[in-house]
Amino acid sequence: MLLAVRHLKNIKPTSPGLSTDRRRIRVRTLRTEEVFETLLDEIQEFKWDIIGLAETKREGQGIVELQGGMWLYNHGKTEEDTEAKGIGFLVHPKLTDYVTEIKSYSNRVAALNLHLTGRDQISIIQVYAPTSEYDDEIVEIFYEDVSKAIEANKGKYTIVMGDFNAKVGLYSQQPKGNYPGLWSYHKS
């Protein structure tokens, strides 16, 4: 699960299992209420608007209103979709009135639409891509779902974010100064 934030200054995680850098907090999964509550405690330390969630491994689908009017949207394991991958959004209470639609395309792709001013719409598409170990058919279905979400959610601004499970090669094989960062390291 990857959490993107607007402002994060010198914040160190207070809970084991969480790690931070300037733009994200990593949590392995949000399956248990204990870990989810820890995440909610951690985000109180900085400013945020919408948080994209991937690999939540939570069950169910829908919107739940949390403490202080915050929304949690989750699409995880359901009777029709029995794989517990899971994606979702946390929406800050100041923005819940602006949300016009949240739609899932699978438990790996969802879209959130906001109308902030006038006719301007912002579309945020959250994804959790299958790894390269999955069958090509599953990967193709994922990309078809992403394409459907982009086509159906064209705001003035469209953001596609999430965990793409990208593997860009070995860090040691990258030209000096020409690599996306240490988080892209992949062992063959």
Other beta carbons within 10 Å of 90: 20
- Do the beta carbons of residue 2 and residue 52 sit within 8 Å? yes
Q: Has residue 19 got a pLDDT over 50?
A: no
Residue 24, token pair as written in the block? 């994200």
Q: pLDDT tens digits for 157-179?
A: 999 999 998 766 555 555 555 55
Report the pLDDT value the prediction gives residue 173, as an integer from 0 to 100: 59
Q: 111-123 burial by CB neighbour count: b if 16+ within 10 A, else e?
A: bbbbeeeeeebbb
Report the pLDDT value the prediction gives residue 168, as an integer from 0 to 100: 62
Q: pLDDT tens digits for 74-89?
A: 888 777 777 768 899 9
Q: Has residue 106 got a pLDDT over 60?
A: yes
In the chain, where are the structural domains located? 2-184
Q: In terms of residues, how long is the chain? A: 188
> Can you name the residues that pair with 26 across neighbouring β-strands?
2, 19
Report the pLDDT value the prediction gives residue 182, as an integer from 0 to 100: 55
How much helix, strand and coil, in percent to the nearest 5, is found in the chain? 25, 35, 45
| DSSP strand pairing (157-163 vs 99-106) | unpaired
Q: pLDDT tens digits for 51-75?
A: 999 888 888 888 989 888 999 898 8
